[in-house]
Structure 1
Amino acid sequence: MVTTDDQSGPERPDYFVRSAEMTLAVLLAFTANEPRQTVTQIADKTGVSRARARRFLLTLTDLGYLRSDGKSFELTPRTMDIGASYLANLSLPQVADEHLKRLAVELNETTSLCILDGPDVVYVARIAAPRLLGVSVNVGTRFPAWATSMGRVLLASLPEAVRESYFASLTLQAFTEHSVTSIDQLRVEVEHAAVHGWSLVSQELDDGLRGVAVPVRRGTQVIAAVNVSLQSHRVSAGSIEASVVPLLQKAALAIGDDFGGRRGGVRS
């Protein structure tokens, strides 16, 4: 418990502003495991009275760093501004590179990192396996988000209204005989990604090629997706959840942590 009341706590230099310490203590009380907090919870965690905790929570809400449903509070994306200057010196592809390389070695397959840009996924990092695949893909390559495993896990992270607007704008194209051909079927696939935290697209974009993806999170925010491309004859669809998905999730967690995730902080 951190005690931050002005009248108590360890001796500090004359310049020390305890309200600044309290502000940070309140913000840091929100974690991935406890993203929503009540006034009582914050008071207990920071060691101050409920009235004092409430004043800080309401002030941070007015400033846009928190939002409230009237009972509990949670962080808003604006909190990312606090570390933006530091994180601006970090490149997401650069951070991801060593983890993608390790994953490519573990699976002996091509690994990628993608972001969502409008209706498309864009490859921002890619480590190729020493084999020629049917689809020529480089950093900067775009594919329709709906047709890829990366796109589906990224779409799954969007607010429902935004996702529905995306669905309404689509004209589906059959890249292969296995491609999803209806919005209803696509909704099922995206919902699977939302519920299970990973997506498999099997030979929908290119015959003989499967894509598996999981989201990369910085804190609670999905910022990208990690993908592995698998030749269908090398790994059976039934074994992917047990043999591939855990390795993808491990790599995604490491990338998120190294890019400013709350679990381990930003590491240089």
Structure 2
Amino acid sequence: MPREGTGPDFIEALARGLEVITAFAPHRPAMSLSEVAAATGLARPTARRILLTLQELGYVRAASGGGGFVLTPRVLELGVAYVRSMGLWDVARPHMEELSGRTGESCSIAQLDGPDIVYVARVAVPKIVTLAVQIGTRFPALQTSLGKVLLAALAPEEAGAVLAEPSRSGLEPRWRPAPEERDAELRQVRARGWALTDEQLARGIRSVAVPLRDGTGRVVAALNVNTHAAETSVEHLLDHHLPLLLQAAGEISADFARLETVPHVTHAAQPRG
């Protein structure tokens, strides 16, 4: 990305901010301040100010374990840069299309952003549903099967801290459990490896979700099959759809792990003149 525009209206600070966002890539989802500065050719103080500004705006967050910074799903609001940086859609699309064809239902991938989930990929089947879903849609995590899977992947104390934050979804869920009931639900999800929601978010929504993992086994997203409660029983959802969902998740995770092993060519940033 050029740092000097061709006209008087070019804003260099904006260009630098976008350059920092696009520095994150599949082979380097977490970057330290020094790595961001090196990748962009920016001075460390400049890179630091940009990262802190993006963090305050919600586009990056501190990586767990003090490992620098990572993008957040809010980058989706700028376009599809976040999805492409993770490679999830390209990897998942054929498996999701097959899963949707075999179940006759919509399926989605979401990731956690604070106490909410954000949809990052979806194959939809035309049906009348209570809530419209598209890429970038945000729901409270605890009341969705996708969110339960992602929350269960966190340490219990971390999940509790995340859920103490206010949701930005603007939706009031039907199920509002006490902490003891919530923790018991997440323990069950953690133990069995999948999550069910039965009209806990809104009437008519019933779904089951499983985790998607990278090559290290870390949960990077969740995949679900969504049904209408009036059409699909819990028994059919678990007996028929769940095995197909687990198969698709395993294939997506395996493909994603293979993608991570592909060598990436890096280009040294040009020093500023």
TM range (shorter): 0.5 to 0.7
SS in 2 for 1:259: helix
Contact 1:90 1:259 in 2 (8 A): no
Is 1:94 aligned with 2:110? no
Of structures 1 and 2, the one with the larger relative CO (CA 8 A, separation 6+) is: 2
Q: CA deviation at 1:265?
A: 6.4
2:203 equivalent among 204, 207, 215:
207
Q: CA deviation at 1:183?
A: 2.1
In the alignment, which residue of structure 1 is the partner of 2:46? none
CA shift digits 1:8-45 (9 cap, x unpaired)? xxxxxxxxxxxxxxxxxxxxxxxxxxxxxxxxxxxxxx
Higher mean alpha-carbon deviation, 117-126 vs 181-190, is at 181-190
Tell me the TM-score normalized by structure 1.
0.60
Mark the structure with the bigger radius of gyration. 1
Q: CA deviation at 1:255?
A: 0.9
* Residues 55-94 of structure 1 mapped to structure 2, 5 A cutoff: 91-94=87-90
In the alignment, which residue of structure 1 is the partner of 2:229? 232
Aligned length, in residue pairs: 179
Higher mean alpha-carbon deviation, 126-135 vs 99-108, is at 126-135
1:118 equivalent among 99, 114, 121:
114
Is 1:166 aligned with 2:162? yes
List gaps (5 residues or longer) in structure 2: 1-64, 68-83, 263-273
Q: CA deviation at 1:190?
A: 1.2
Distance in 2, Cα, partners of 1:94 & 1:132: 27
Distance 1:118 1:251, change over 3 A: same
Q: CA deviation at 1:175?
A: 2.6
CA shift digits 1:180-239 (9 cap, x unpaired)? 432222212211110111111101112111021000111311010001111112221133
* Residues 179-190 of structure 1 mapped to structure 2, 5 A cutoff: 179-190=175-186
In the alignment, which residue of structure 1 is the partner of 2:15? none
In the alignment, which residue of structure 1 is the partner of 2:124? 128
Q: CA deviation at 1:130?
A: 2.2
In the alignment, which residue of structure 1 is the partner of 2:41? none
User: Partner amino acid for 2:245?
Assistant: L
Identity across the alignment (%)? 36
CA shift digits 1:129-165 (9 cap, x unpaired)? 1212221110011111111110110111112331232
List gaps (5 residues or longer) in structure 1: 1-75, 79-87
In the alignment, which residue of structure 1 is the partner of 2:192? 196
Distance 1:119 1:214, change over 3 A: same
User: Partner amino acid for 1:135?
Assistant: L
Distance in 2, Cα, partners of 1:147 & 1:261: 32
